Structure formats: structure tokens, C-alpha cells
Amino acid sequence: MTARGIDRRTFLVSVGAAGGALALGFDVRPGAQAARAAGDAPEITAWIVIHPDDTVIIRVARSEMGQGTLTALPMLVAEELECDWSKVRAEFPRPDENLRRNRVWGDFSTGGSRSIRNSQEPLRRAGATAREMLIAAAAMQWGVAASECRAANSIITHVPSGRTITFGQVAEAAAKMPLPKRVTLKDAKDWRLIGKPTRRLDVTDKVMGKPIYGIDVRVPGMLHAALAQCPVFKGTLKSVDDSQITGMSGVHKVVRLKDAVAVVADNWWQAKKALDALVIDWNTGDSGQVSSDSVRQFLLGGLTADKAGVGRAHGNLSEGFASAVTRVNADYFVPFLAHATLEPQNCTAHVTGDRAEIWAPTQNGEAALATAAHVLGIPPQNVIMHKTMLGGGFGRRGVTQDFVPPAVLIAKEVGRPVKVVWSREEDTGHDYYRPVAMARMSAGLDATGMPSAWHVRMTGNSIWSTLMPMTVRGGVDRQFQEGFLADMPYDIPNYLADYAIRNTHVPVGFWRCVNHTQNCFFKESFVDEMAHAAGIDPLEYRRRMIGKHHNAAKFLGVLNTAAERAGWTTPLPPQIHRGIALNEAYNTFVAAVAEVSVDTHGAVRMHRIVVALDPGTVVNPLTAEMQTESAVVFGLTAALYGEITIKDGRVEQSNFNDYRMLRMAEMPRVETVLMPSGGFFGGCGEPPVAVVAPALCNAIFAATGKRIRSLPLKNHDLRKA
Amino acid sequence: MARLTVNGHLHDVDVDPDTPLLWVLRDTLGMSGTKYGCGIAHCGACTVHVDGVATRSCVLPVSAVDGKAVTTIEGLAPNGVLHRVQKAWIDHDVPQCGYCQSGMIMAVAALLRAIPNPTDAEIDAAITNICRCGTYQRVRAAIHAAANV
């Protein structure tokens, strides 16, 4: 999830239904020399506040949506700060403060499993900087050399004399010290906190129902709004007959937007009841004819199109096929998927004149702020933005801030603070969906059974070309092909991976693990097909194919570990079968072995899955393990049930009754093996999602002999023929 | 007008009697620990206790709880003393985003009152709440731990 060719001063923001991207420039200079905050907070640096009672407040710029940033990022700071971890509390700085302070906290966007990868060095530096300032203040007070002092556990000791002073006692003086010109970071071998399983800082609040999510925001004088958006994407509002709601209790106003209608009332239930009583007519335009079948036909054209962007090519494909003794061909398909964050989309706004204040559960607070400013036509510095806790994110609340425009427009018209909450049905029907995709696989195997040629032709909805067209040049969207490019570990002498972009009217976006969620299923299922065509064990086949890749040792490391831990060569009970998959995503290497049964009714059950990960460095093994369990559920839910279908231009699914989620009874045993090999930082939130579907489907093949080439599994009859 | 007792406090609220309990708790009484997830009693994020029984409040008209005792997540730890389920949740590091956890914890607290030491099958049958973060493995471990306190 990187935007190319965009400088640091510019935020890319996709503003909801308007479609397309906005590049909003703020005239700010990034840099460390930001103005210090006014007020009495004993702020050592922008990242760290230390109170006289030794409480340490560490600011976290990235959003907390369950992945544990609110704990892991402070750990990085605390490692160098040398503070007492039991005294640490975390807080979110406001995006508008970031803007006002020359982006002192850097980038707020939270996605692509980047929170640790991109912040680890600045955060460790922030900790080291504050530690040096605290030591300098203590040394000055004692009249000794700073080099004679050490900090540990929130206490500074003058080593020769044994004198001590706490961080809290020197915090105020430290805040006035100059920033050190240079700080040295610890070697990884000296880390005491990083790498140690550490309980989440937010756990107690979360078991007491205390955290404030966006949907929980309460502002004095606030009204509540329910929203109906045009059910056909890109359609507009034609007319609203509100005669039926006259006199309904608590209703304040009907607000008409370009492509939506809202009812504003004293509470959300009243608003929703009145909204449901409106008679609304929409202009659906040409898109009203689109169906899942028409999308499929459109994509089939992409499989055979002459023109396709080349993501990776080497060797000579026709020579490779000519030398093959066996051909393996298969077409694969995956549907659109919704994010289904359990907290529906929502935003609270208060607009007065040319100023606005907004509250939202967003993965990118700066983008939310910029979106509000753009929609209202006011300067960004006139917007105050409060970022709340997120009830799930999964990519839904990142690049797309489509929950902001209706909120600010409704609030502007009402003149009072308004909280706009989408119903679950509205949320399911107006997502930025995981793209639909197809792959046509053609491979030639030589006399040894190994591939001499492989052509991967992909087609489907490109996220970047719809959200930010300027990032896709020459028809090449490398993210759509991720997993099949330089990140593919397999040695194929003659190889072509190309992609014919086929954009539908359905909005698409980043869904946890993005295009790996389709491509790893395509890639690892097809590798299994090749292995079976060659008559070679799928694990052994992969080992042979991982040849000279520059990350071969890491791929083999996770592959062999997952296989060993799962007991790949040991017999299983008769009904249970194994499947394996391997992938790299966001700098993390992942392999999984799933144990699966298919009963006589065709019901699939995953009993156990072993997931081995090498993310280079693990900051908090506890949350990394939790994220792996979470990723398995996310991937398994999609593989079993996930499917958004289109009829008459609109989404057919509405709620959890027809967009099914995995529940307790279907949960497999997840065994996570963290095996950081050191020297790099990979992401942890997303990578394991991708390996779940292929490991599952390869096990289903082992169980039934049926090769699954499309998802979800609910559409397949797996009963024995 | 409707009358209800929440966490031991009596409230008279000026809402339509068909208003679901969830929205009275959240919007009228300002108790946001109980969550909206689906509005059709599928996800369980809105689970509260009505006379000690786990109940999905998003489809329950407030008129139905007149004269009954409603307990929400805010009332599960009176005087700040955590319920054994909440303690087990902390010990087993259950919550991720946390959004479903109020309802999950209320459902489990009611289950353990009805079945003090549930089997895995009884847990599967009783705990049908949706956790989109997928905390189920830790939920199960925490239920067993809380049962054995």
C-alpha cells in the first residue's frame, strides 16, 4: 500500500462517493524542530509526557483497531527511554495538532501492516532522545557529567556517587533541555522490552466496556442521523417523499444529499424508523443493469485480452512450453468481499461557519480531516479532528474516508452536532470491496515434473486505478499482482505474470492483506495442482521450486517449520487431511499447514492450522500471536462464506444473516510459530490471512480429490460423488 | 414514556415504547458500553442481562423490560470489582478491537450462571456472538478458566 510519486507534504485522499483521488497539499514542513505545545504538560518531546508521579504518557499516531499498536508502539519508545513499563499510558494525538505542529508525529495512516515497520526507528529515536534529555537535566542539577549517569526503570543514577533521581522529578527541567544532536540506538541483542510478550495497555478498559469508539461519541446538543445512500453505485438521488413521516416523534429534519438521504432525530432509532418510512426515488443510470453474471463475462474478456500490463516476465514462454512434456491449465475466480467491521461506519460532525470539528473511527485521521475540509470548502487548519478507538478496520477506514462527507454536510445543514451512524445494511451495501478477480494459469512441466513455463494472466478490479489513477502507469498495477512478482519464491525458467485491468462500477478498496487474499489462493492452489500432476509431494515440490530466490532461506525456514510442527509426514486420523501454503506479504514470510475434514454431507471443517511466520523482528509476541489467530479467522470466514454478489447494479447481501461470519463453533485450533530471523521488520496484522484459503483448499483436494478453483466454499458440493 | 431499571437504578425515559432497549441505553441513558452491530439479533454485540438472562437488546422493545432488572457491561463490575469473566478475559488477553467484547462477556457471564462448568459443545451452542477480530480461541480458554475460579 504505497503511493508512488507523492511527496511527504501531500496527502492522498479518496473522497467517498465522489470517486477518484484528491491530492491535498498542506503547507507544512516535516521535521523534528516542531513548536512545543503550550500549557502545563511536562512534554519532554512531542512523543513523551512525564508527570511528577512518574506516569509516562506515550503518544501513538497510528490507529488502534485491534492490532495492538497502542501497546507495541509505546514498547518501542519505552525500550530506549528506559522507563518503568508499569507507569506507561498511551494516548492518541489529534490529527489537527499534528498539522499545527509541522507533522511532528509524522504519518497517521494505519494500513498495509506498516505501523511497526514504518515507525519503529523514529519511535526508538524519540525514546532515546527523551532519555538523553532526562539524563542531561539530572546531570545539570547534580553538576556532574551526563556521561557518568545511567537511566533504568524510570530512575537516573549517577554511577560514581550512587545518587538517584526519578524521571518525574527531572521531567520539567528535561523538557527545557536542548534536543541532543545525535542519539545511539541499542543493538537488538540488548533489548529488554522489545520481543517480550507484553499485555495490551487497553485490555482492562476493553473488558469493562469503557473505550469510546466513534459510534459512542457524545457531544452536547448532539442529534442523531440515519443515512440511506443510492443502492446502485454511482447513482444519485431523484426525489424524496417525506409526507409519511410528518409528526413522527423526535424527527428534526430530512437532509437531501447528491446521492443520499438522511433523517436527523433525537435518537438514532427514531431517525432510522423515519428513514425507512420515506419514499425515495433514485437515478440509477447505466449501472442499474450490472449483475454478478455480467461482471463475470466482463472479466472473462480480460483473461484473453491482447493488452495486459506486464508485472514480471523472464525467459521465453513459448520455448518453455515447447520443451514441456505435461501441460497444466486452470482458471480461478474469487468474488467481491465486504469488510464488515463490527462497528458500522459512522462520523460525528459539528460545523459552524467556516470551521468544523469531527470525530471518527478512522485508519487515517489526517485523511479524515482533509476530506472534511475539502467537502466543506474550508481551509484544513479550520478543522479539529478527534480520532477515536476503532471497532475493526481491516482497510475499510483507511484510504477511503467516505463516512466523513455525509456527516459534515448533514451537520452543516442542521447547524448542530450530528452523529451519523450507518445501519448494518447500509454498511454492507456501501463498502469499498475486496476486488473480484480471475486468474488463468497455464504451466508446462518438464520430464522431471518441474515447471519449464508458467503464464499467470490475471484480470479484475484494480484498486489503485480506481482510487488513485495517477499511481497506475502503463496499465501496470503491481499491487494487483502482488505475490506473483519478485516476491514469488519459485524458480520458473520461463515466466510471465500479466494483468488486464477490468474495472466495474463496484467500488473497491484495501481489504486485510489486499490482493494477496486472491493471489495466494490462486498461486498456492495451482502449485498444488502442478505437484499432483508431477506426482510429487506438495511440500517437497515447493522445496524444489524454491531455488535461487534472494529470500530462499526465509521461505524454506517457515515452510519447513510449519510442516515439522504440523507433523507433515506423520499419519492422521482417517477423516483428516492436510494442505499446505506459502507466501510473502508486507516483508513477512508465512507458511501454513491446515488439517481439514469433509464429512459425508460435504461439510468442511478446519480442525487445526499451524502458521509459521518470519517477520524479521517481533516487537510484541503476544499481539503478533493474537493477530495470527485473527488473520486465520478472517481468511477462513472468507474462504467458507465470503461473497458479495451484484444484482440490478446493487449489492444483494445486507446483514450477517446473508453475509455470514465465522463463529465460535467453527473455530479451528490455531498454533502460531513466531520465528523472527532478525535484521528486518515485517508486518504482522495481515500476512497470515492469505495462506488460509489455499491451505484449506489443498487439504480439501487431499480429502476429496476435488480441486477448488473458486471461492467461497459454500457454493461447492463437496459430497463424495 | 417507559420505565426501566438498569444496573439497579430506576429510569423514566421519554421514548416510544417500541424503541429497542439498545437505543434507550445508548442514546437516552448515555451508556455506550452496549454496542450496535447488526440490529437483527445476529451478532450479539448488544447482549445485556434481563433478569439474569442473556438477551440481545437490539430487537427488544423497551416496553418489554418494565418491571425487570437490566444489567449492562457497566453494571457487571460493581464498585470496580471485576467479574470473574472480566478477570479471565484479562488473564487470557482476549480483546482485540474490543467492540464485540461487552456483548461476549455478558453472554458468557450468563452462561456460567446457568451452566457453571460448560463443555466445549455447550460453549459452542450458547456463545454465538460474532467477533470479527476472531478472538474465539482465547474466549474459549477464558471461559474454561472463569468456570474453574
Instruction: Flag whether pLDDT at A411 surpasses 90.
Output: yes
Q: Please report residues of A whose CB lies closer than 8 A to that of B134.
A: 629-634, 637, 662, 667
B109–chain A nearest CA distance, Å: 12
Q: How far apart are the C-alpha atoms of A708 and A333, rounded to whole Å?
A: 10
> CB distance A421–B36 less than 8 Å?
yes
Contact criterion met (CB below 8 Å) for A146 and A98: no
> CB distance A203–B30 less than 8 Å?
no
Residues B91 and B131 in one domain: yes
Tell me, what's the pLDDT at A286?
87
Rounded mean pLDDT, A440-464: 97
Closest residue on chain B to A657 (Cα): B42
Tell me, what's the pLDDT at A16?
43
Q: How far apart are the C-alpha atoms of B107 and B73, rounded to whole Å?
A: 10
Contact criterion met (CB below 8 Å) for A612 and A558: yes
Rounded mean pLDDT, A302-318: 97
Grid coordinates standing for A323? 520443451
Q: How far apart are the C-alpha atoms of A190 and A517, rounded to whole Å?
A: 37
Instruction: Flag whether pLDDT at B48 surpasses 60.
Output: yes
Q: How far apart are the C-alpha atoms of A649 and A529, rounded to whole Å?
A: 36
Tell me, what's the pLDDT at A12?
54
Rounded mean pLDDT, B66-85: 95
> CB distance A664–B129 less than 8 Å?
yes
Rounded mean pLDDT, B112-139: 98
CATH of domain A34-190+200-207: 3.30.365.10
Residues B19 and B48 in one domain: yes
Q: How far apart are the C-alpha atoms of A47 and A105, rounded to whole Å?
A: 7
Using CB atoms, pick whichever of A249, A622, A662 lies closest to residue B93: A622
Cell 528486518 sits on residue: A680
Residues B17 and B62 in one domain: yes
Rounded mean pLDDT, A609-633: 98
Rounded mean pLDDT, A504-532: 97
| Torsion angle in degrees (nearest 10) through CA of A92, A98, A99, A104 | -160
Write out residues 77-96 of A within 8 Å (CB-CB) of B. none
> CB distance B42–A216 less than 8 Å?
no
pLDDT confidence tier of residue A471, bands split at 50, 70 and 90? confident
Tell me, what's the pLDDT at A24?
55
pLDDT confidence tier of residue A1, bands split at 50, 70 and 90? very low
Closest residue on chain B to A636 (Cα): B134
What percentage of chain A has pLDDT greater than the value 90? 89
Rounded mean pLDDT, A37-48: 74
Query: For residue A329, how many C-alpha atoms fall within 13 Å in the half-sphere facing its CB?
Result: 4
Q: Give the domain-ending residue among B75, B103, B130.
A: B75
Q: Please report residues of B whose CB lies closer than 8 A to that of A64.
A: 97
Cell 512434456 sits on residue: A325
Q: pLDDT tens across A341-398, in order?
A: 999 999 999 999 999 999 999 999 999 999 999 999 999 999 999 999 999 999 999 9
- Residue A366, CA distances (Å) to A65, A171, A363, A370 in order: 16, 30, 9, 6
B46–chain A nearest CA distance, Å: 11
Q: Please report residues of A whose CB lies closer than 8 A to that of B84.
A: none
Of residues A339, A341, A336, A370, the one with CA closest to residue A356: A370
Phi, psi of A213 (to 5 degrees): -85, 170
> Which CATH number covers residue B89?
1.10.150.120
* Claim: this prediction has a pTM higher than 0.90: yes
Residues B142 and B113 in one domain: yes
Q: Please report residues of A whose CB lies closer than 8 A to that of B94.
A: 203, 207
B1–chain A nearest CA distance, Å: 12
Q: Please report residues of B whose CB lies closer than 8 A to that of A424.
A: 37-40
Q: How many CB atoms lie within 10 A of CB A155?
A: 17
Q: How far apart are the C-alpha atoms of A136 and A145, rounded to whole Å?
A: 8
CATH fold of the domain at A214-285+345-421: Aldehyde Oxidoreductase; domain 4 (3.30.365)
Tell me, what's the pLDDT at A541?
98
Q: How many domains does chain B have?
A: 2
Q: How far apart are the C-alpha atoms of A462 and A399, rounded to whole Å?
A: 14
Write out residues 89-148 of B within 8 Å (CB-CB) of A. 89-90, 93-102, 105, 123-125, 127-140
Report angle CA A533, A538, A541 to the nearest 5 degrees.
80
Tell me, what's the pLDDT at B132?
98
Does the CB of A607 have a partner CB in chain B at under 8 Å? Answer: no
Write out residues 113-172 of A within 8 Å (CB-CB) of B. none
Q: How far apart are the C-alpha atoms of A444 and A496, rounded to whole Å?
A: 12
Ranges A458-472, A643-657, A706-720, B27-41: which has the least confidence: A458-472
Domain ranges of chain A: 34-190+200-207, 214-285+345-421, 292-337+433-715
Residues sharing a CB contact under 8 Å with residue A499, sequence separation 6 or more, in sequence order = A308, A309, A311, A457, A458, A459, A462, A476, A477, A480, A481
- Residue B66, CA distances (Å) to A250, A477, B47, B52, B63 in order: 22, 59, 18, 15, 6
Q: Please report residues of A whose CB lies closer than 8 A to that of B109.
A: none
CATH of domain A292-337+433-715: 3.30.365.10
Tell me, what's the pLDDT at A35?
45
Report angle CA B77, B81, B86 to the nearest 5 degrees.
60
Residues sharing a CB contact under 8 Å with residue B20, sequence separation 6 or more, in sequence order = A269, B57, B58, B59, B60, B61, B62
Write out residues 27-66 of B within 8 Å (CB-CB) of A. 27-28, 30, 32-40, 42-43, 45
Tell me, what's the pLDDT at A285?
87
Instruction: Flag whether pLDDT at A507 surpasses 80.
Output: yes
Packing angle between helix B101-114 and helix B136-147, nearest 10 degrees?
Answer: 40
Query: For residue A631, how many C-alpha atoms fall within 13 Å in the half-sphere facing its CB?
Result: 33
Instruction: Flag whether pLDDT at A604 surpasses 80.
Output: yes
pLDDT confidence tier of residue A34, bands split at 50, 70 and 90? very low
Does the CB of A206 have a partner CB in chain B at under 8 Å? Answer: yes
Closest residue on chain A to B100 (Cα): A342
A624–chain B nearest CA distance, Å: 11
Rounded mean pLDDT, A197-203: 97
Q: Please report residues of B whose CB lies closer than 8 A to that of A266.
A: 27
pLDDT confidence tier of residue A107, bands split at 50, 70 and 90? confident
> CB distance A629–B89 less than 8 Å?
no
Residues B67 and B90 in one domain: no
| ipTM surpasses 0.90 | yes
Instruction: Flag whether pLDDT at A177 surpasses 90.
Output: yes
Give the type of residue at A221: G
Of residues A191, A167, A171, the one with CA closest to residue A79: A191
Q: Please report residues of A whose CB lies closer than 8 A to that of B73.
A: 208-209
Does the CB of A663 have a partner CB in chain B at under 8 Å? Answer: yes
Does the CB of A633 have a partner CB in chain B at under 8 Å? Answer: yes
Q: How far apart are the C-alpha atoms of B4 and A69, rounded to whole Å?
A: 39
Contact criterion met (CB below 8 Å) for A373 and A365: no
Q: Please report residues of B whose CB lies closer than 8 A to that of A63.
A: none
Report angle CA A206, A209, A210 to the nearest 5 degrees.
80
> Which CATH number covers residue B65?
3.10.20.30
> CB distance B131–A656 less than 8 Å?
no
Instruction: Flag whether pLDDT at A170 surpasses 50.
Output: yes
> CB distance B93–A200 less than 8 Å?
yes
pLDDT confidence tier of residue A7, bands split at 50, 70 and 90? very low
Write out residues 366-425 of A within 8 Å (CB-CB) of B. 389-394, 421, 423-424
Instruction: Flag whether pLDDT at A81 surpasses 80.
Output: yes
Q: What is the DSSP string of A702-716?
A: HHHSPPP-BS-GGGS
Residues B71 and B89 in one domain: no
Tell me the average pLDDT of chain A.
Answer: 93
Chain centroid offset of residue B105 CA: 6
Residues B60 and B102 in one domain: no
Q: Please report residues of A whose CB lies closer than 8 A to that of B74.
A: 208-209
Instruction: Flag whether pLDDT at A623 surpasses 60.
Output: yes
> CB distance B86–A67 less than 8 Å?
no
Give the type of residue at B97: C
Grid coordinates standing for A148? 557518568
Using CB atoms, pick whichever of A206, A632, A663 lies closest to residue B101: A206
> CB distance A664–B23 less than 8 Å?
no
Tell me, what's the pLDDT at A23?
55
B14–chain A nearest CA distance, Å: 10
Query: Reduced to 3 states, what is the DSSP secondary structure of residue B91?
Result: helix
Under DSSP, the state recorded for B28 is I
A43–chain B nearest CA distance, Å: 29
Task: Determine the structural domain holding residue B124 and report its residue range.
Answer: 79-147
B106–chain A nearest CA distance, Å: 10
Tell me, what's the pLDDT at A201?
97
Instruction: Flag whether pLDDT at A612 surpasses 80.
Output: yes
